[in-house]
Structure 1
Amino acid sequence: MSEKENAKKSKIIIFASGSGTNAENIIKFFQNSKNVEISAVLSNKRAAGALKRAHDLDVKALLFDREAFYSSRDVLNILKDIEPDLIVLAGFLWLFPSNIIREFPDRIINIHPALLPKYGGKGMYGSKVHETVIAEKEKESGITIHYVNEKYDEGQTIFQATTPIEENETPDSLAGKIHELEYKHFPEVIQKLLEKNN
């Protein structure tokens, strides 16, 4: 193997719509990696905390609008310029367009705060998921990491982790447990996928 091949880093691009705690956790996990770099964090929301967190951690932070994502090829061209090994959705709320999915087959993954196929689909995100899981008297919840396809939360499952639901569980207390699972497992699953694909 040549030195140049040896020095090639796996590139990750993160998409996030919200506060960006998962994005920050992933950036910090790979911060000192010799093999992986976070090339950029992209967001569809100007006020997204994810953009500030990325900027504060010296990662390129890019804002885009609906037209750039769905109508023009602007976002697709950004991705093609960077050529990421993995595109990671960390709290990103828009449905991914099929032209990007076609361009990066089996290289786009998402994390969902429930045990799919239950409690997924359009509108099922954040506290809405936890409220519904508790209302349905489920005994456990968890996270699902899955590939992204043209339908919300219907791509092939890569990994799941569970947590029990206590009798006095609230949406907030459950959210805390889910965040812990996300922070622990999401970077590790990303690392395994990169190692498998290289």
Structure 2
Amino acid sequence: MESLSSAIAYKPSLNSGEIIDLRQRQTLASQFNCSFPNHKVIFCKTCSANNLALRNTWNSINLFQCRSNASHVEGPQIENDTVKELRRKKLGIFVSGGGSNFQAIHDASSRGLIHGDVSVLVTDKASCGGAEYARDKGIPVLLFPRSKNCPEGLSSIDLINALRTFEVDFLLLAGYLKLIPTELVQAYPKCILNIHPSLLPAFGGKGFYGMKVHRAVIASGARFSGPTVHFVDEHYDTGLILAQRVVPVLANDTPEQLAARVLHEEHNVYAEVVAALCEDRIVWRDDGVPLIRSKANPHEYY
């Protein structure tokens, strides 16, 4: 049986017809709900079977395995229990341009700083720098969305099925300028991240991207800017904020100078957040706000 990955070894970009044909010849992993009423471990409510093993002190449960299909709604919050095995997560990255954040994440993964691997790249521009970088590294490239200018692109449903074929855990937007369709947001609840070059909710929304953001920040007289990592919802830049870094706006800054300083922080904070995501260190406060549990001290959050 031909696999999707082997097919892409011969053709880096797959169109919708080829995805459908391959999908029909493969069996996707079934999903099920699991939960354990344990005073020691509060784990995800919606899970699928795979390789995340947690040691539990409760006598009736010695070991169970669970693979996250949505960001952990209530944890895991682990007190004295330790993570015995942590499965490497599979990442799908979306780009429209050069993909410097994509490259930074891929580099951090290659150096062992992220417990996950970039399994597939999604782009709306087949010849962009990010797509070329992916092909050079042997990373499969999918074209999305289908349009008049890109008839070989995938539909939303075909993209979802392709991502499931690659067994992607999390989606990361890294300079992808298209609005993510509702179907994709619903298929990956609390599993899609984006990075924006301002301190949201300021200077966000439709039309605010790239140098336009930095020009607006300087023109406003704001004294601080910086990147924001947030969860993706059905709108531009309105998802829950997960992490931010503050960058000073200097008196004589040009948009290019400010952009360079913000981009440097983007590369750092995005890689750190993705590392936390892959290590299941994203937790949710009772009011629905996401936090990152410190790796050095599990009782500290930021």
Same fold (TM over 0.5): yes
Q: CA deviation at 1:51?
A: 0.4
- The CA distance in 1 between the partners of 2:156 and 2:101, in whole Å, is 28
Q: CA deviation at 1:65?
A: 3.2
Is 1:152 matched up with 2:232? no
Q: Which structure 2 residue ranges, 5 or more long, are not aligned?
A: 1-52, 54-62, 67-84, 148-152, 283-302
- Which residue number in structure 2 is paired with residue 132 of structure 1? 216
Residue 97 (structure 1) aligns with: 181
Q: Secondary structure at the match of 2:92?
A: strand
Give the secondary structure class of the aligned counterpart of 1:50: helix
Alignment match of 1:19 (pick from 81, 98, 105): 98
Structure 2 letter corresponding to 1:31 = S
- Alignment map for 1:3-152 (pairs within 5 Å): 6=85, 8-33=87-112, 35-67=115-147, 68=153, 71=155, 73-152=157-236
Kept after mapping to 2: 8 A contact 1:13/1:84: yes
Q: Which moved more, 1:74-83 or 1:154-163?
A: 74-83
Asked if the contact 1:43–1:62 (Cα under 8 Å) also holds between the matched residues in 2, the reply is yes
The answer to whether the 8 A contact 1:120-1:152 is kept is yes
Q: 1:172 aligns with which of 253, 256, 259?
A: 256
Partner AA of 2:158 in structure 1: D
Rounded Cα–Cα distance in structure 2 between residues aligned with 1:73 and 1:86:
17
**Percent sequence identity over matched residues?**
37
Q: Is the 8 A contact 1:140 1:164 kept in 2?
A: yes
Deviations 1:162-197 (A, max 9, x none): 110111000000010011001111111111122126
The Cα shift of 1:46 comes to 2.1
Task: Output the aligned Cα RMSD.
Answer: 2.1
The farther-off stretch of 77-86 and 95-104 is 77-86
Q: Which has the higher helix share?
A: 1
Partners in 1 of 2:144 and 2:182 — Cα distance?
A: 17
Q: Which moved more, 1:29-38 or 1:113-122?
A: 29-38
Unaligned runs of 5+ in 1: none
Contact 1:51 1:62 in 2 (8 A): no
Distance (whole Å) between structure 1 residues aligned to residue 132 and residue 116 of structure 2: 21
Deviation sequence 1:10-55 (CA, Å, 0-9, x none): 1111000011111111111101438411101110012310001112
Q: Which has the larger radius of gyration?
A: 2
Paired residue total: 196
Out of 269, 273, 276, the residue aligned to residue 185 of structure 1 is 269
SS at match of 1:66: coil
Contact 1:146 1:155 in 2 (8 A): yes
Residue 88 of structure 2 contacts residue 278 of structure 2 at CA under 8 Å; is this kept in 1? no
